[in-house]
Every structure is written in structure tokens, then in C-alpha cells.
Amino acid sequence: MILNDVLKKIKAKRKIFAVLIDPDKFPEQNLLKIITAMEAASPDIILVGGSLVTKKTETTVEILKKHLHIPVLLFPGSLLQLTPNADGILFISLISGRNPELLIGNHVASAPVIKSSGMEVIPTGYILIEGGTTTSVEYMSQTQPIPASKTDIAVATAIAGELLGQKLIYLEGGSGALNPVPRDMITAVKQNISIPLIVGGGLNTKEKVKDACEAGADIIVVGNAFEKDLSLLKEFKEVVSSF
């Protein structure tokens, strides 16, 4: 079970490094290049998903599973991004927003398919944080992010997510965020929940990755940062593994 492995690593005081693959940004020929880079970096988890992905999810997952022995989790931006070939799925509720489709609507529509797929399902409370620009997630979800200065709202939202039964809390600056989730917000949220904390968005330098780790993130997710420089994958993994 992927979640059990995550919990064991966190209990052992280890940080977890996850790589987010957007199928729209990595056609097959480029995907093979990133597979080579991931073999060198050896991330703990691969997430597959994006805001606009349609029919490429299944092919992307198949290629990753063929070449790598790393758990592949779906990180779906829509109902179209489902494939039973993945090892599991982050069953995401956008708890920072008030769009009913992303709180429960899509979940009801997809639940029978997901249950019958046999994938591991990990309920995840997704909290979008303002990152200095309008991100794809904000635009496509039609929700407002929590302002970066409103730590108290982020903390209360994360607590609510845990009390509702979420197994993970994901603080996200959004794809292409100019600024990562503030360090003090990460720390405050971590101090107020007892479930693993994922942090992603805007983590495009080793220093920012280190800050997120030091602030209390259990799982670090990087995506856009390595699209132009695959060597960053290994550098980021080294930073995360140093904790």
C-alpha cells in the first residue's frame, strides 16, 4: 500500500520526493528523456495529471510503468484523467474553494469507476494558495486561492480537511506559481494536523525546496521546474534526501 509506505517513511523522519508529470507537456519522445533523468534521481512517487489533460493520461502511465519501478499515482484535474493502469489515485477535494463539483460532484460521478478499478484510493484535501499569478488550477477550477498572508485560514482549512477524514493535506501554489507556499504557512499547518503534508508549486530552486522541507513539508512535489533542465531532478532529490 502506497499510503502505508508513506506513513512508515514519515514516522522514520524521512522526507518524500514526488515528481509531477503533466502529459500535455511531455509527449512520448520527451517522456523517454525524463524517464532517464528519473532513473538517476529515483523519486519516491510519480504523480500524473494536469489542468487540461484529456486523452494522454493512459499512455503516459503505461510508459512510466513500463520503464520505472516507482509508484504512479493519478493527480486528476478532471474526470477524463482516469486510467486503471495507475497504482493509485489522489482522490482530491478542493477544500480551499467553494465549487461544489470539485468538493463532491466529480467524486460522485467517478466513484463507481474508481472503486471497480482496483487502484489504491488516497483521500486528499487540496488547498490552493495564492502564488503571485493566476494559475491554471485557479482558472480551471473557478475558485479563489487562499491569500498567502492568510495563514489562519489555511490552518483552519487543513484542520477541517483532517476532521472530514482526508488522509493527506496538499498545500499548492499552483502550476507556474511565481512564489511558493510561504514558509510560515507550511509550519503552521504542519503543527496543527497529524496527517502527512504535501507541498508543491513554485519550488523551482534547491533553496526553495530546502525551505519547504525545513518548514515542515513531509512530501515535496516538483513539476514545472525541471521541464527545461532535467538535471534539477537529481539536485532536488539530494536536497530532500538530506533531511
What does the pLDDT look like over 30-61, one tens digit per residue?
Answer: 888 889 999 999 999 999 998 776 678 999 99
Is 175 one of the annotated binding-site residues? yes
Residue 39 phi, psi (nearest 5): -60, -35
Q: Phi first, then psi: give them for residue 208, nearest 5 degrees.
A: -70, -40
Is residue 178 within 8 A of residue 201, CB to CB? The reply is: no
Q: What is the 3-state secondary structure (H, E, C) of 130-177?
A: CCCCCCHHHHHHCCCCECCCCHHHHHHHHHHHHHCCCCEEEEECCCCC
Whether 124 has a pLDDT exceeding 90, the answer reads: yes
C-alpha cell at 106: 466529480
173 has binding-site annotation: yes
Spell 171-205 as b/e; 16+ CB within 10 A means b. Answer: bbbbbbbeebbbbebbbbbbeebebbbbbbbbbbe
| pTM for the predicted model, two decimal places | 0.96
Q: Is 179 annotated as a binding residue?
A: no
Q: Is 97 annotated as a binding residue?
A: no
Residue 174 annotated as lining a ligand binding site:
yes
Segment 51-80 shows an average pLDDT of 89
pLDDT in tens, 174-220: 877 889 999 999 999 999 999 999 999 999 999 999 999 999 999 99
Domains of the chain: 2-241 (3.20.20.390)
22 is in an annotated binding site: yes
Residue 126 assigned ligand-binding role: no
Whether 200 contacts 166, CB under 8 Å:
no
**Is 32 within 8 Å of 22 (Cβ atoms)?**
no
136 is in an annotated binding site: no
Task: Say whether 170 counts as a known binding-site residue.
Answer: yes
Residue 87, annotated as binding a ligand: no
CA–CA distance, 235 with 225 (Å, rounded to integer): 12
Does the annotation flag 120 for ligand binding?
A: no
Per-residue pLDDT at 56: 86
Report how far apart the first and last C-alpha atoms of the chain are (Å, whole number).
24
